[in-house]
Structure 1
């Protein structure tokens, strides 16, 4: 009886009893189109894992690692591929410390590449799911911190991990010299970004929409940034202090609702191609089979910037305690969606939008899109 009265009152007042409300894009996350206004440096389908190794800019596409450099005679306003080598299997994450490069190869392990290509070591710690290494960061040249998104799914099945409500992620500390690893945190909901800050770790926990901090041994875990309106991903250091945080897809009330409907979600997983699930995506608008179309998104054949969307572009500037300061966005009608990696080079931030297949630049010193 009391439940019926509560539901009737909620229907009358417009309350949400399902818990599917998504926090608004407000304050430091106020909507803008700064990523779309930023200069395009390179179009490269499926670009991922932007890192700075010494003075070299590297990125991955599938099983290939590309070396990038400014185009000659172009005033540094464009990048070109100057070298490529294949590692044989998909690259899921990369991290650099000076000239040292760590490459996570799906199903194989972690390759440690020494300066000048003199040697390559393979680390495959026992108990660590090498198919789902989502992010890495060096604490020092001999210590590597690793985020494993899931113990049950490979990295490319991240939608399955969310839709099956799997919480089997972990954080590991690897001794590079001894080629050994120890788990320092477990039971995480798809950790997809990690960074070391003095004696603390910041780990983005995508499916719980938050960033947590912990000691280098996994102790004293606490929420550093919570109740986010998007799924947090990789974290990159900012030269002036603080961090850059990528959010690879926005949250959606319909997705939040579907996550509570177990029977519907199970049938969706069994019968529908993942491309067309009611689930977040790195890019949308490529097929008429996608959910939420028509009047919900367009008016007079124009896409509404504020329309419900599965994909967007979002980079957030955070201070040293991971508090948000400002953001750079590509909204529903933009074309810099699915930001998965970033790195600072030559005084500006390079942003890799895997969904749209683009690298754009942000001038942090000026506080707005680069020149």
Structure 2
């Protein structure tokens, strides 16, 4: 008797060992920001971070942030280069390039069909790689992308006084981009939990989170996760009839999907499973929102992590970086810039 061999994916990483739950995110020092989304280190060594339509500058931790620039649309991405230029992604698929004083630099052309600017990285003084995940700003990416098989994402390169060009297509919801140690570019994919190169080749996969942005450090990388991977969601991917009915009959807000905030409501299916005796939420309770930062070595393998569990509030970590030896992170859920201290980041 012959049996067909079932092709399976490599097992995903579990929240154990260096990925084991802790309270690093909940215990971190923090400053408030209104709808923070992105951060970057300027050429002068200052921390730039977005707050809605504005960018603030922090010269050193403990000082008050300064207003640096203001825009007509919310800021969706930030990147700086050594020459003092700052690329600012804006909702609606726009890009602005600013000088060190926060004044616009002209001559940069953006593709007219750019759907979003989820992240960006300078390739040189006159070229920027831009990540377009393929979803409009009014679409809930966390709800929709885990159930979408269409590879909508791409990477475009824009230049000063140059025509834009597309260098990567058919990517599954790319969220972050950074330089690797070989001089190339690598990207993080939200639902595929993978790090890929521009060709789409998987460099590492199986991470236990829905990936946000990835950033290079002196000795490796650090990666933001918008939530942890949920076993129920992974199981339902094997139930196409249920998923088809869910997508046809419910607003995406109510789909069984990862979420950015730890809110509990009877409107959400399964969510009340996170409530325990007298409404107390236990850290180990099931929850579709979670706070997770993963520190990686040069081979993209985890070496440390920081968590905000089911009973925490610092969920949906959307950006990270290493600044003055400290690990910094943005919690979209709590609206905070977090300083996790030196930790294992050099």
TM-score (norm 1): 0.81
The C-alpha deviation readout for 1:101-159, integer Å capped at 9, x for no partner, is 10112225211112224443364433652x32211111322232222111x54475313
Counterpart secondary structure, 2:207: coil
Q: Is the deviation greater in 265-274 or in 88-97?
A: 265-274
Deviation at 1:331, TM superposition (A): 1.1
Residue 112 of structure 2 corresponds to residue 134 of structure 1: no
Q: Which runs of 5+ in 2 are unaligned?
A: none
Partner Cα separation in structure 2 for residue 133 and residue 124 of structure 1: 14
Counterpart secondary structure, 1:121: coil
The C-alpha deviation readout for 1:213-242, integer Å capped at 9, x for no partner, is x3xxx35x532221122111101222x321
- Give matches, 1:22-37, under 5 Å: 23-37=13-27
Q: Which residue of 1 aligns with 2:213?
A: 234
The size of the alignment, in residue pairs, is 337
Partner Cα separation in structure 1 for residue 299 and residue 76 of structure 2: 27
- CA contact 1:313–1:339 (8 Å) conserved in 2: yes
- Note closer, same or farther for the CA distance 1:122–1:164 as it changes in structure 2 (3 Å cut): farther
- Note closer, same or farther for the CA distance 1:296–1:101 as it changes in structure 2 (3 Å cut): closer
Please tell me the root mean square deviation across aligned C-alpha atoms, in Å.
Answer: 2.9
TM-score (norm 2): 0.86
Q: Which residue of 2 aligns with 1:311?
A: 289
- CA contact 2:69–2:102 (8 Å) conserved in 1: no
Partner Cα separation in structure 1 for residue 165 and residue 257 of structure 2: 33
Deviation at 1:327, TM superposition (A): 0.7
- CA contact 2:177–2:185 (8 Å) conserved in 1: yes
Greater Cα radius of gyration, structure 1 or 2: 1
- Give matches, 1:95-134, under 5 Å: 95-98=79-82, 99-121=84-106, 123-126=108-111, 128-129=113-114, 131-134=115-118
- Note closer, same or farther for the CA distance 1:297–1:166 as it changes in structure 2 (3 Å cut): farther
Q: 2:255 aligns with which of 243, 262, 277?
A: 277
Counterpart secondary structure, 1:303: coil
Deviation at 1:51, TM superposition (A): 1.2
Q: Which runs of 5+ in 1 are unaligned?
A: 4-17, 71-75
Q: Which residue of 1 aligns with 2:167?
A: 184
Deviation at 1:203, TM superposition (A): 0.7
Query: Counting strand residues as a fraction of each chain, which structure ranks higher?
Result: 1
Residue 60 of structure 2 corresponds to residue 83 of structure 1: no
Q: Which residue of 2 aligns with 1:56?
A: 46
- Note closer, same or farther for the CA distance 1:156–1:60 as it changes in structure 2 (3 Å cut): farther
- Give matches, 1:209-288, under 5 Å: 209-212=193-196, 214=197, 218-219=198-199, 221-238=200-217, 240-269=218-247, 271-288=249-266
Partner Cα separation in structure 2 for residue 47 and residue 153 of structure 1: 18
